[in-house]
Amino acid sequence: MPATESGNHIAHHTPGRLFLTTHWSVILAAKDRASPDGAQALEILCQTYWYPVYALIRGSGHSPEDAEDLTQGFFARLLAKDFLKVVEPERGRFRSFLRMAVKRFLAHEWQRARADKRGGGRAPLNFDMRLAEDSFQTEAADSLGPDELYDRRWALALLAEATARLEREYARAGKLNQLNQLKPHLTADRGEIPYPGIASALHTTEGAARVAVHRLRKRFRELFRETVAETVATPAEVEPELRYVLSILARG
């Protein structure tokens, strides 16, 4: 919820984005032809989670070229309102829903996707496929299966989204320089954080540096939890999903 800024506090504004309460809310709103905001929010979801989908398709044995076309084809279908008419939330994790939707797409729609290359005339979404393939090659060297690749990239996408929200908050507060100094210590062990050096870089006291690091880490945990919470259907699913995502990140 919005909060005012006072002293050195960062205002905890709700990030300026089109996400609704949960990803299921986005899907359901996008099914309504009179809901342009829902459709735009759905496209943002596609941009956020396209690489886990690419990794799943690529890891399933498709060539880079076919995986690119299939990824574009899948999201073109997902963005089509006629496709969304038959989609109902299975009241679970959005991560699991998207994985199953991709597998069904590969089983039943891949020939159409290749015939209607890049979404059948629809402008393709702007995905950085070269970066995707470089990342895939790096991860494939770890002998991960397609589902493991998908889950890793899903977890990293959530991490990136939480980080982006944190950056937006600090930018609004005019504290990007502070964030740039503190961010390298976001996940460091407390005993390894060089508070005197941080204080010198920020032209402040060591005590103030400790407070700034504490607030940064606390706010990032809140934003990461918020990001994970948007991918499940009920509050009861937040903690199990959060633990699972953290376990995936810990393996990296």
pLDDT at 235: 87
Q: How far apart are CA 223 and CA 15, in angstroms?
A: 10
Q: What is the CA radius of gyration of the chain?
A: 20
Task: Answer yes or no: is 9 within a domain.
Answer: no
pLDDT (average), residues 72-87:
72
125 and 47 in contact (C-beta within 8 Å)? yes
Other Cβ atoms within 10 Å of 57 Cβ, number: 27
Task: Answer yes or no: is 17 within a domain.
Answer: no
230 and 168 in contact (C-beta within 8 Å)? no
pLDDT of 202 over the 80 cut: yes
Q: Residue type for 176, please?
A: L
Number of domains in the chain: 1
Residue scoring higher pLDDT (40 or 149): 149
pLDDT at 138: 72
3-state secondary structure 158-220: HHHHHHHHHHHHHHHCCCHHHHHHHHHHCCCCHHHCCHHHHHHHHCCCHHHHHHHHHHHHHHH
Task: Answer yes or no: is 2 within a domain.
Answer: no
pLDDT at 114: 57
pLDDT of 209 over the 60 cut: yes
Query: Nearest 5°: phi and psi at 182?
Result: -90, -30
Task: Answer yes or no: is 148 within a domain.
Answer: yes
pLDDT band, very low/low/confident/very high, at 197 (cuts 50, 70, 90): very high
Task: Answer yes or no: is 126 within a domain.
Answer: no
Enclosing domain of residue 188: 23-117+132-251
Q: How far apart are CA 116 and CA 178, in angstroms?
A: 48
pLDDT of 219 over the 50 cut: yes
Q: What is the mean pLDDT of the chain?
A: 79
Alpha helices in 80-145 (DSSP H): 81-84, 94-108, 110-115, 117-120, 129-140
Which residue, 1, 72, 52, is CA-closest to 158? 52
Task: Answer yes or no: is 49 within a domain.
Answer: yes
pLDDT at 20: 38
pLDDT band, very low/low/confident/very high, at 184 (cuts 50, 70, 90): very high
Task: Answer yes or no: is 6 within a domain.
Answer: no
Sign of CA pseudo-dihedral 198, 3, 159, 238: positive
pTM of the model: 0.76
